[in-house]
Amino acid sequence: MAEGRVVGIDLGTTNSLVAYMQGDAPVVIPGVDGSNLVPSVVALDPIPAGGGRPTVTVGNSARKALIQTPERVIYSVKRLMGRGLEEIQSELKMFPFRLADDVEEGEVPRITLGELKFTPPEISAYVLRQLKRNAERFFGAPVTQAVITVPAYFNDAQRQATKDAGRMAGLEVLRLVNEPTAAALAYGLDRAKAGTIAVYDFGGGTFDISILKLRDGIFEVQSTNGDTHLGGDDIDNLLLTIALDEIYAEHGVDLRGHPGAVQALRKAAIDAKISLSTEAAAHFDIELPNGDRYQREIPRAVFELLIEPVLERTAGPCKQALADAGITPEQIDDVVMVGGSTRIPAVRQLVDGLFHLSARGKKPHIELNPDEVVALGAAVQADILAGASTATEEMLLLDVTPLSLGIEALGGTVARIIQRNSTIPASATEHFTTGVDGQTNVAIHVVQGERELAADCRSLARFDLKGIPPMSAGLPRIEVKFLIDADGILHVSAREQRSGKAAEIEVKPTYGLTDEQVESMILDSFDHAEDDFAKRLLIETRNEAETILTAVERAPQNPAWQLLTDEERRIVAEARDQLNAVKTGEDLTAIRNATLALDQATRRFAELMMDAAVSGAIRGKTMSAAGEELGEAVTAPHAMAPAEFK
Amino acid sequence: MLKVIDSAVPVACWSCSIGHNDFTLFCPHCSKIQPPPGGDYFSVFGLEPRLNLDLAALEHEFHRLSRKLHPDRFARAQENEREWSLADTALLNDAYRTLKEPLRRTEYLLKLLGAEIGSDAGTEQGGHDKKDLSRVPADLLEEVFELNMQLEEMRMARKLGETDPELQVSLERAKRKFDVLLSEVDQDLRSQWQVWDEGDAAVRKTAQKLMVALLDRRRYLSNLVRDVTETLGA
Ligand SMILES: [Zn+2]
């Protein structure tokens, strides 16, 4: 392929994944540790002894740091994306992160991590960079283009922040796709059928409901609704609060001041929640700092009663989405379940009731792993955009904008110019004029939301139309075009019609980074990406050395070893000792050369081993049984060959 | 006024330089995507302005054009084609959204013909247009006066936490009545569609006037019904 692959990324609140289209099926790309899920956790390592910037780690290793150095770890950052200072302050009541103390009103808030400060898009960029690296490692080639999923109910600022994060991570974001729509793509791939489906997406931090019409490969979203402040996190926090309160009441221990202990307790709460999806009861058993034990049994019935108010909050958006699509629950042919929280039996029960499923002899779709389905769908969309495959050439996604776009009118009311659930791209043209003779500026305040008053909606941006030729009041006629693109992001252009001059627009996004800021954050992250890259390469090289050394240790057990001459065995032992001597050092080239030398020294042994295996196969053993004798590395061209260095 | 498609000035295709008229999404010679064409929403679908539309055919054409125009099909194209795909698809979507919904379609056509129509006519999700409530249709004056009194009483009662079953019944009766009036307006509108689609210039002009008045009445009635529904449901 002339251009590189396009990968699909699910940038989740709790976990993130990267997937690609393998032939005609989407596949998740595992990380170095073999796991498909990369926890969306970012940790700052301690400052190196010699000074300099500390290294950033992402994923499972960062999650381990949560309990040891909680003040250097951040998670669930998706909840902070594209949000203003006040919103973040209220969000942070639930999380142990600290806002940088020098953040000013109107700035993108920064979070303190150890001795450094990061904006939410920067934190997300680290997660994205990890996924990018996993993909690059998997393909053995650079990956520069991606499709990233966002909650359908994300507003303009949250979408822009996600795109910014992609750019900081060195990814060209070809499209933002709504998560429920992506899930529908993943489900729709192998079932070319027509019908109306609802996607109920209850994830770690957000809830979305989307209703789609499927026909001839066209996935047309009818309506969408949701809550970007509602998810499994809320359930974890409920359990956590109860445990903290009980520990204080029964044992007189206030853990709230101990972030490490709170994180340990949070982990216990999450484990309890997960086990309650399959068990009748969960148990807390935690040793407290004073030596007491906090022991507590939570029966499922109690748990369900506790979380009912959280689950009930998903019902309103579902009903609104049905009303906006102009259909009844009975007209929904299928319901697709997405997000880890849909594993909770009470959630499935609620969905069953909302869409009258069992009454109609139907069941919600849970065939695809709810943690992976969004990433798989993102890979499908990536394939559609790459335009190079027959598997997706008939498919097309027509999505909608989740929120109405409006302009603040006189008296603070909202004049709606693009209605929610309009298919995107969508546009609207409005005309403005001046109120005072000679006026050369017109200010426009753009908001997003469904409320009547601008103050109750979400402020998107203030546009200042400048350079209007001085005329009598009411005479200029400024045409402003608002366009929501396929990512759900707003673009504005303006023209003064009487003079034909393009009016100059100065955009002040209410929440968000300027282009220059994003640019500086790219360079920044790239700078220490170089350090990280060298470090990563060293670790990988050491791993390769260990692999071949282990194989050499086992070699004498193989009958082929006896076929070597004494001289050959001596050379192998020498190369082995040489590699052992350098493998823990910092000299990448030395380790690499010693590894290659050992590989060379064992080449004849590998050939002998292969011959024995092949003749074994000829003597009647099956090839696969012969393969087992070769050990784990049977697919490599040389049984002991390390992975190729590039 | 409506633009007449035949009189379009030929423009040259950006790609093959051969002239074509300005109302096409794709060059008839080299099939490359073109910048957003002039013309109205009907012309996007290759239609003459009409009020009775075959919605299934409209949807089919919408899907066919979407497949060709959508930005997903141009993700790796050069920048000008990407921009035009975005602008053209926005135009297609705006046109489809307007034409598939009967009231929006009627309003759009009347505006195209120069009629002044209050905003949000027929758009169910539209904002409240309270100022319009001063324009009470003459035949409803008495009833609306009565209804507004009752609505006020009901709100007061609600505020005080009281229930007034008699008032409730009376409001429900009023709502049913206005619902019937609404469906009558819709029927009248539909018959005017037919008249306009088939009529000559003079007939069309009369139909246009009637439809503008019907839309005004409809907006007034639906605001009223919404107020009653909100008050009852509060
Ligand atoms: Zn051409």
Give the pLDDT confidence score for residue B5 in this predicted structure.
39
Q: pLDDT digit string (tens) for B36-45?
A: 888 899 999 9
* Nearest in space to B113 (alpha carbons), one of B220, B206, B188: B206
Residue A400 has pLDDT above 70, yes or no: yes
A427/B90 touch (CB, cutoff 8 Å), yes or no:
yes
Mean pLDDT along residues B118-134: 43
In this predicted structure, what is the pLDDT of residue A508?
A: 66
Query: Distance between CA A138 and CA A136 in Å, rounded?
Result: 5
Residue A338: name the closest of A148, A208, A176, A197 by CA. A208
Asked whether the beta carbons of residue A427 and residue B97 sit closer than 8 angstroms, the reply is no
- Measured in whole angstroms, how far is the alpha carbon of residue A144 from the centre of its chain? 16
Say if domain A6-230+313-398 classifies as CATH 3.30.420.40. Answer: yes
State ipTM: 0.85
User: Is A616 a residue whose pLDDT tops 90?
Assistant: no
Residue among A248, A205, A255 at smallest CA distance from A230: A205
Give strand pairing partners of A18. A9
Give me the pLDDT at residue A537, please: 66
Cβ-defined contact of B125 to A404 (cutoff 8 Å): yes
Distance CA A496, CA A311 (A): 51
Mean pLDDT of A221-240: 91
Interchain CB distance below 8 Å, A215 and B89 = no
- Residues of A near B (CB-CB distance < 8 A)? 3, 174-175, 215-216, 218, 220, 324, 381, 384-387, 396-398, 404, 413-416, 419-420, 422-428, 452, 483-486
CB contact under 8 A, A396 and B126: no
CA distance A513 to A341: 32
Three-state DSSP class for A166? helix
Q: Which residue of B has its CA nearest to A395?
A: B67
Beta-carbon pairs below 8 A across chains A and B = 76
Beta strands across the sheet bearing A116-118: A98-99, A111-113, A116-118
Q: Which two tokens stand for residue A245?
A: 């309160």
C-beta of residue A36 within 8 angstroms of C-beta of residue A15: no
Would the CB atoms of A425 and B97 count as touching at under 8 Å? no
Please, where are the H alpha helices in chain B? 41-44, 55-69, 79-100, 102-112, 141-159, 165-198, 201-233
pLDDT at A506: 67
Residue with token string 């970012």: A42
Chain B closest-CA separation from residue A384 CA (Å): 7
- Are A35 and A19 spatial neighbours (Cβ–Cβ below 8 Å)? no
| A334-371 tens-digit pLDDT | 999 999 999 999 999 999 999 999 999 999 999 889 99
Alpha-carbon distances, residue A41 vs A59, A75, A121, A125, B193 (angstroms): 5, 4, 13, 11, 60
CATH number of the domain at A232-311, please? Answer: 3.90.640.10
Residue of A nearest to B75 (CA): A385
Nearest chain A residue to B68, by CA? A396
**A109 Cα to the center of ligand 1, angstroms:** 50
Q: How many CB atoms lie within 10 A of CB A349?
A: 13
Model confidence at A76: pLDDT above 70: yes
Q: What separation in Å is there between the alpha carbon of A210 and the centre of ligand 1?
A: 39
A130-149 pLDDT per residue, tens: 999 889 888 888 889 999 99
Instruction: Select from A174, A220, A485 the Cβ nearest to the Cβ of B75.
Output: A174
For the stretch A637-642, contacts whose Cβ atoms lie closer than 8 Å and that sit 24 or more positions apart, written own/partner, are A638/A599, A638/A603, A638/A606, A639/A551, A639/A606, A639/A609, A639/A610, A640/A548, A640/A551, A640/A552, A640/A599, A640/A602, A640/A605, A640/A606, A641/A599, A641/A606, A642/A544, A642/A545, A642/A547, A642/A548, A642/A595, A642/A596, A642/A599
Nearest CA in chain A to B94: A426
Q: Are A478 and A504 in contact (CB under 8 A)?
A: no
Residue A196 has pLDDT above 80, yes or no: yes
pLDDT of residue A171: 93
Query: According to the model, what pLDDT value does residue A613 have?
Result: 56
Q: pLDDT grade, residue B196 (50/70/90)? A: very high
What is the per-residue pLDDT for B2? 36
Residue of A442 and B89 predicted with greater confidence: B89
Per residue in B151-170, pLDDT (tens digit) is: 888 888 888 887 778 888 88
Which residues of chain B have a CB within 8 Å of the CB of A384?
A: 72
Q: Tell if the CB–CB gap between A416 and B70 is shorter than 8 Å.
A: no
Average pLDDT over residues A290-306: 89
Query: pLDDT for A536-556, tens place per residue?
Result: 667 767 877 887 888 788 888
Interface test with A, best of B64, B68, B76 (most A CBs within 10 A): B76
- Interchain proximity B90–A3, CB inside 8 Å: no
Q: Measured between alpha carbons, how far is B103 from B89 in angstroms, rounded to an integer? A: 22
Q: How far apart are CA A633 and CA B7, in angstroms?
A: 74
Percent of chain A whose pLDDT exceeds 70: 88
* Residues of B whose CB is below 8 A from A3: 76
Flag whether pLDDT at A525 surpasses 50: no
What is each CA distance from A91 to A98, A234, A321, A348, in whole angstroms? Answer: 11, 11, 26, 27
Q: Is B191 on the interface with A (CB under 8 A)?
A: no
Residue contact A386–B73, C-beta within 8 A = no
Domain spanning A405-517 has what CATH number?
Answer: 2.60.34.10
Residue A530: pLDDT above 70? no
Who has greater pLDDT, A314 or A444? A314
Answer yes or no: are the C-beta atoms of A10 and A374 closer than 8 Å.
yes
What pLDDT is attached to residue A474?
Answer: 84
Which residue among B72, B94, B119 places its CB closest to the CB of A427? B94
Predicted pLDDT of residue A95: 75
Domain ranges of chain A: 6-230+313-398, 232-311, 405-517, 529-640
Residue A179 has pLDDT above 90, yes or no: yes
Is A201 a residue of the active site?
yes
Please give the pLDDT value at position B205.
93
From B159's Cα to the closest Cα of chain A, the distance in A is 22
Query: For residue A192, what pLDDT is reported?
Result: 60
Smallest Cβ distance to A384: which of B63, B72, B89?
A: B72
Q: What is the identity of the amino acid at A514?
A: T
Whole-number pLDDT of residue A264:
81
Report CB contact under 8 Å: B72, A413.
no
Instruction: State both tokens at A489.
Output: 């992001």
- Is B60 in CB contact (< 8 Å) with chain A? no
Both tokens of A362, joined, read 């139907």
Which member of A201, A236, A408, A544 is catalytic? A201
CA-based nearest distance A5→chain B, Å: 12
Burial class (CB in 10 A: 0-12, 13-18, 19+), A50: exposed
Name the most confidently modeled range: A90-94, A95-99, A366-370, B114-118. Answer: A366-370
Inter-chain touch A215–B75, beta carbons under 8 Å = no
Calpha distance A402→A226 (Å, rounded): 9
Span A30-48, average pLDDT: 86
Domain A529-640 has CATH 1.20.1270.10: yes
Residues of A in contact with B89 (CB under 8 A): 425, 486
Q: Given a cut of 70, is residue A305 above it in pLDDT?
A: yes
Can you tell me the mean pLDDT for A26-43? 90
From A416, A422, A427, residue closest to B126, measured CB to CB: A416
Q: Do A485 and B96 touch (CB under 8 A)?
A: no
The DSSP symbol for A107 reads: S
The minimal CB distance from B63 to the residues A218, A384, A427 is found for: A218
pLDDT more than 90, % of chain A:
41
Under the banding of pLDDT at 50, 70 and 90, the label for residue B134 is: low
Q: Which sign, positive or negative, has the C-alpha torsion A112, A61, A338, A165?
A: positive
- A179 catalytic per annotation: yes
Read off the pLDDT of each residue in A474-490 and give the average, rounded to a whole number: 89
CA distance B199 to chain A (A): 32
- Residue B69 CA to ligand 1 center (angstroms) comes to 16
- A372 compared with A469, residue with greater pLDDT: A372
Strand partners, A235: none
- Judged by CB atoms closer than 8 Å, whether chains meet at B67 and A218 is answered as yes
Averaged confidence pLDDT in chain A: 84
Give percent of chain B above pLDDT 70.
88
Q: Residue A31: its pLDDT value, please?
A: 83
In whole angstroms, give the CA distance from residue A490 to residue A482: 7
Q: Which B positions 64-83 lie with beta carbon below 8 A of chain A?
A: 66-67, 70-73, 75-76
Residue A176, pLDDT > 80, answer yes
Tell me, yes or no, if A254 is annotated catalytic.
no
Nearest neighbour of B71 by CB, restricted to A324, A416, A486: A486
Confidence of residue A164 (pLDDT cuts 50, 70, 90): very high
Tell me the pLDDT band of A150, cut-offs 50, 70 and 90. very high
Choose the weakest-confidence range: A28-42, A128-142, B10-24: B10-24
A534 pLDDT band, cuts 50/70/90, is low
Integer angstrom CA distances of residue A463 from A101, A503, B199? 29, 11, 46
Where residue A204 falls among pLDDT bands split at 50, 70, 90?
Answer: confident
**Which chain A residue has the Cα nearest residue B129?**
A415
Closest by Cβ to B76, choosing from A387, A404, A422: A387
